[in-house]
Structure 1
Amino acid sequence: MLAGSTRSSPQPRASSPPWFANYPELNPPDDHYKGWPPQMLEFTNEEMQRLVFLPRVSRRALDPNDVTLNERAAFFGEGLLTALVSDFLYTEFIDCKAHDLTAMRQALLAPSVLSNLCQRVNLTAYIRSSPPDRRPDDQALARTFQAYIGGIHHDRGADGYLELRNWFYVLIKPYAMQCKANYEQYIEAYSSVSVDPRLAALRLTDSGSSSSPFGHPGSSSTSRHSRMPSSGYRGYSLDDPAQIARPGTAAPGLGMYVTSGSSSYTPHISRGIGDYIKELKEYCEKHRLPAPIYTDMDNGKSGDHIKWWSTVNIGDKYAGESTSWAPTKKEAKAMASKVALNHLRGSYRS
């Protein structure tokens, strides 16, 4: 599919989370295939090993010189990992275009993946912490893995690069395969469109919503709460002037923009929040469409700080989502319903 594609992949705006933010984290099973994961490469220089595995959580101040050398190793490793991942993708996925490879490389270099790699080859056994019951977070483990790669190359020199490359090739392969499957699903969801002309407007957009926590139509994200709230890409973008100009386009609140050319809509600035939910249900019944299916997600907080986001599908097709976090689940559903109604009505008129 990627080989035959002539269009560029949808890229989120700079302020939006990356495309992979709402897909399950890359975490292949230990028995992915025989001999995987490979054993860690051992250091020959004990001092380099000590510097690489400086405590990431410590009550005592570290030697500034040690910290500097550790950071230099991490800097070096970061560059090497970019080259190693690029090498793998370029070699394995020969039919993929450059923008596809770039998107997958971005996912494979994410801190959550590097942290997983760090734990997979048991580098955590070498990391001392004080107090010992506190473990480093993903960011710290990712930096440890970067420092490890930089330290191994420094330890073995240029002559050892081939061994490092071959070792990393085996290690990263199952992650890359999972990443490619996620990316293909992302592209397919972006480009798919319903055969029902009334649902044609439910095409996913590449401009995205800057705060949606949902990743792909039909299901909520399996990402951890620490990675919410986010949206990678699609939804009903209010930043698109062409969409805002359409009669009945949803506004960030529960009001509605109405243009003089719209004879089918009247302003309902103070409508009850439940009206849009009911109206969408009745619209689907009237036009013999599948019943709306809502998926709700909170922001991971509790009490007065909890907020809700909702996405709605018509059958198995993505139809819309909230335009902002809402204080109640019902308000989130109402916003999603309103967006879906605008999509459906716009498509039906055309």
Structure 2
Amino acid sequence: MEETKGGPTVNEPGNLTPGRLFEAIKDLSYAKSSDDLLDRLLKKISSLFSPEMACFLLKDLATGGLRYALVAGEQAEVIKDRFIAKGEGLPGLAAETNQNIIITDPTRDPRFNTTVDQIPGLEIRCLIAIPFHVEKRVQGLVYLINRKSGPAFNLEEFRAIQTLVAFSELLLIKMVLWKQVGDLEDLDQLTGAFNLKSFFNYFKREVARCERYGTDLSLLQVSIDYYEKIIQTFGQEAGERVLLNLSFILKKTTRKVDLVARNAEHEFLVMLPQTNQAGAQKVRERIQKILKTRIPGRPEFLLLLLLLFIQSQVSRRSIYTKFLKLTLALIILTRKDRNENIQQLEKN
């Protein structure tokens, strides 16, 4: 909704052409992140319309107030990070009522709040406030103060700025959707752990980092013993709950830099960058302790953990050979001699 009280009643000619507006929209489409998008938006608005100050106010979801998150202009440092309480001033009014507002004569407009809207050292002559939406909710505000020279902003420019803001909203939605799609491609749908494809992509990077910087890398392979028996006895749903619980425990027990991936139906891999053998052993013991606490008295749920430690001096070919050996170990081990074979494997 456009509010023009105290503003121009007709469109005055400006130097904004469809070609310049198209180029601005084109530049916005090159944004790589939400921060980059908002930065480009303010720069394009500043370039096209020459405001004394171009600001993006971010809404605080807890209080409903607005913070000057991005500010471009000579007086930027005066109001950077300044906070406006919910509903206060022209920015608060625009955000709470979800209105696009233009004021070209603050002295005649009762909505102008001299206490909140006045900027130290700056005479306010015209203002534009346009809410920024994410999923139909106001999450911020584009706020322009004065024009550097010439007449006040006109309706043609006001609508052009709305167009740039609306296009930026669409771009942000696209970024969010692409990120969600990317996350779905990287994650196992049942457990939320990374899938095997993603694991190998990260694994190759970490191996290259080991060679380049001389760091260590450890891997834990976790397998649910007698998983098929769990399914046969308690059903598929019970088996899935076990997988979900195990995935949750592994992610909560490890660091943010570590990676938990589902390797097979009942197996997980935990990659521990920059972790030596002693450090990996501590992680292993911590996981075992938590699992015993969570699943007491259920030997059929016993979990098998195999440890692979990669020294920085080992060649890449040797690393992949050791990894293959670790993967095959769970296939060839039998319950009768499992403990003995595990100990022998770790010695090698």
Same fold (TM over 0.5): no
Greater radius of gyration (CA): 2
RCO higher in 1 or 2 (8 Å CA, sep ≥ 6)?
Answer: 1
TM-score for the superposition, normalised by structure 1: 0.27
Q: If the length of structure 2 is used for normalisation, what is the TM-score?
A: 0.27
- When you count strand as a share of all residues, which structure comes out higher? 2
